[in-house]
Amino acid sequence: MADMVADMVADMNSARQSILTRESAPFELRAVVHEVALLNEFEGRPYIRKDQHRRLKELSERPDVTIQIVPLCRSVHPGSLGDFEILSYDGGGATVYRELPASSLMTTDAEEVAACQAAAKTLSAEVTLSAEQSAAR
């Protein structure tokens, strides 16, 4: 069962990652990852973590991808209340996406979007390592 789940997760991740390398409709990604996530081992398979680190390093070298790490010593910050994604569109619109245990939430509510944009800005500027420092980890 664990092998089947691992294969499904790998397939989903590959499909999502293909967006980053497509030729049409360029896509920009800014990701903030807590360092503890980089230490997790998937079902006792250390090679998966090693492959993930290699892939993140490769992606971080692309001009349209920025990856910043929240170091272990920073446990209380705007992102510690839960994960969120901000999907920004040409023309200035944005949607906030939150994945929850039993459902997901998408909103274009201006206050919610602004609060998440402010949190993302604080995370990037004041909490995370720089992109260069993160790549060196």
- The predicted structure's pLDDT at residue 112: 95
Phi, psi of 48 (to 5 degrees): -65, -45
Would you write out the chain's pLDDT as a tens digit for each of its 137 residues? 666 666 776 667 677 677 777 777 667 889 999 998 888 887 778 888 888 889 889 889 988 899 999 999 998 888 888 889 999 988 889 999 998 888 889 999 999 999 999 999 999 999 999 999 998 88
Q: Is the pTM of this model over 0.85?
A: no
Pairing of strands 94-99, 104-107: antiparallel
